[in-house]
Chain A
Amino acid sequence: MPAMTPQYRIAAADIASGLSAWDMWGRLGWRENKRRYRRTVIGPFWSTLSLAVFVVVLGVVWSRLWQQDPKDYMPYLTSGMVVWLLLSVTISESCIAFINLETLIKQVRVSYTLLACAVVWRNVIVFFHNILIFLLVAIYAGVAVNAATLLVVPGLLLFCINAVWVVLLLGIACVRYRDIQQLVTTLLQVAMFVTPVFWRPTQLGGDLQFVVQFNPLYHFIEIVRAPLLGRVAMAETWYVVAGMAVGGWTVVFFLFGRFRGRIPYWL
């Protein structure tokens, strides 16, 4: 590790002040949600409603298609979709996280980490609206509620710790290379189908298990979904997600130290 040159000290201060300003990013995320659904009657529940239509229709048809018990398949599909929405919308919004705030960034010195936290928080708020659908499905299907359910708290927390560095990384990269946003959109579409959201890893067969095991998105989904379904996620999932947090933040710190000062110039 190089000595803390001023750039790295500024980067560290940006991260520390950004994370601790929960008051500020809490407000920004909350207000952004309010603005998006301004003058609608049911507000963010539109997201919930569209998800409800999606999982009911898909759940009924696909449980028949794959000859699965709806009481088993529906909770799996719903929990998977709720977490997938949190993950994919956060990633796609990260690409415009800083580009959209050009005016602000050129107006006042601001912590980029704070802005990243606001993006994650906004999506977590939507997640808590969407989780309502899962609760209804869980009651219908009689999903087990046990000690493992409590793991949803550390799981979600670990998820968010990762989400913040992802937003920072993609946010900065997209400011510099505008192609990345298109690339990410394309990849996300494919990822939805190769990640076990609608289907179970066991359906894939032994020879293709690597598609699941080496897909970090699977572990990010699983760490929140497993406890929702009343099971404990596999140890390797916890290792992967925790490892990604450490690795990701290390990469972002160095990237940040090197390029943070260039962001306003790139905008």
Chain B
Amino acid sequence: MASVILENIVTEFEIYGMRPSLRVALLNRAIGGLLRGSGGRGRGVVVRALDNVSLQINHGDQLGIVGHNGAGKSTLLRVLAGIYEPLAGRIMVEGRVSPLFNTWPGIEHDDTGYENAVTCGLFLGMSRAEIARKMPMIESFAELGNYMALPVKTYSAGMLVRLGFAVMTATEPEILLLDEGLGAGDARFAAQARKRVEHLIEKSSIMVLASHSDDLILQMCNRAIMLEHGRIVADGDPKEIIERYRESTAKAAEQPGVEEAANGEDGVGVAATTPSAAVPA
């Protein structure tokens, strides 16, 4: 039984590029303790991408994540994938996780399709034997024919997506994480991909999908959450959540200035503060 439990997850990105890096750190080291101790200025800009997120995902959940740009959707997926370790909070994941984000891990444009399929499969936790066993399946799904033996830099964007998709779905994950990106490729492939994902969802017990497409969420999910400024503001039936999301989008459109200010390109709640802790305890 696959399950995911998140308890009070906090993630923060410290933005370093704003000042000369090493010099400032050394200066802080020299005088810093005092400054910080006396409540002086913080060390820089901190973006809180997820703010106290608690979530339980159960066996059979097909969870859609909706939210505006920078609401924390991708960050949440990356926390679930074990890529970002939260600054605070606890995370318990049971089951084999496979992330299917916009590009695929370990891709090298000078390597052939076969070589990339192996590298990518290894990064996703498959053994060489497993990859060899599944190669015919990967070949047939990618439909690349002789192109499999050519460097992937000769591929079209659609071909690249097909191969990546074929390898990643071959891992047969128990927990499938999807981040948009299923759009590329022609219509026939899109239909195939959807079928493949549906088949995967049947087999994998949990799916989490972050998307801007209402249709995709409505078709593929049986539960949805809405993120706003790194917080879960709604959790429930996909239909209700989508409606709420549309309302908030409409509201945002009425007063675009406010929304722009609150939603920076990279994240939410930009504020000059001291990082609450450098390291998760």
Contacts and interface: CB of A to CB of B under 8 A. Distances in A.
Nearest to B82: A109
A176 B24 CA distance: 12
Nearest to B86: A261
Contacts of A265: 11-14, 84
B22 interface: yes
A179 interface: yes
A12 to B, nearest CB: 15
A266 interface: yes
Contact of B22 (A38, A103, A179): A179
Contacts of B105: 104, 107-108, 110
Interface in A1-39: 7, 10, 23-24, 27-28, 31, 35, 38
B106 A262 contact: no
Nearest to B120: A108
A104 B83 CA distance: 10
B22 A35 contact: no
Contacts of B11: 265
B101 A107 contact: yes
3 closest Cβ pairs, A-B complex = A261-B85, A179-B22, A108-B105
Contact of A261 (B20, B128, B280): B280
A258 B81 contact: no
B123 A179 contact: no
B103 A103 contact: yes
A240 interface: no
Instruction: Decide if the interface of chain A is mainly helix, strand, loop or mixed.
Output: helix
Contacts of B82: 109
26 contacts: A27-B118, A31-B108, A31-B111, A35-B108, A35-B111, A38-B110, A103-B103, A104-B105, A107-B83, A107-B99, A107-B101, A107-B103, A108-B81, A108-B83, A108-B105, A108-B106, A110-B123, A176-B21, A177-B21, A179-B21, A180-B22, A261-B84, A261-B85, A262-B279, A265-B11, A265-B84
Given A259-B279, A264-B85, A265-B11, 9 more contacts: A27-B118, A27-B119, A27-B122, A28-B119, A107-B105, A109-B83, A176-B21, A261-B279, A266-B16
A64 interface: no
A259 B14 CA distance: 14
A105 interface: yes
B43 interface: no
B128 A108 contact: no
Interface of B: 11-14, 16, 20-23, 25, 78, 81-85, 99, 101, 103-106, 108, 110-111, 115, 118-119, 122-124, 128, 278-280
A258 B84 contact: no
B229 to A, nearest CB: 18
Contacts of B78: 106, 264
A178 interface: yes
A3 to B, nearest CB: 13
Interface string A168-179: 000000001111
Contacts of A259: 279
Given A177-B25, A265-B13, A106 B83 contact: yes
A223 to B, nearest CB: 32
A23 B128 contact: yes
A176 B103 CA distance: 25
Contacts of B25: 177
B204 to A, nearest CB: 17
B22 A108 contact: no
Contacts of B83: 105-109, 264
Interface string A220-243: 000000000000000000000000
Contacts of A260: 85
B99 A108 contact: yes
Contacts of A264: 78, 83-85
Contacts of B99: 107-108
Given A107-B99, A261-B280, A31 B115 contact: yes
A15 to B, nearest CB: 16
B93 to A, nearest CB: 11
A109 B118 CA distance: 17
Contacts of A27: 118-119, 122
Interface string A90-114: 0000000000000111111110000
B4 to A, nearest CB: 15
A27 B82 CA distance: 24
A260 B124 CA distance: 20
Contacts of A108: 81, 83, 99, 105-106, 123-124
Contacts of B104: 107
Nearest to A178: B21
B21 A7 contact: no
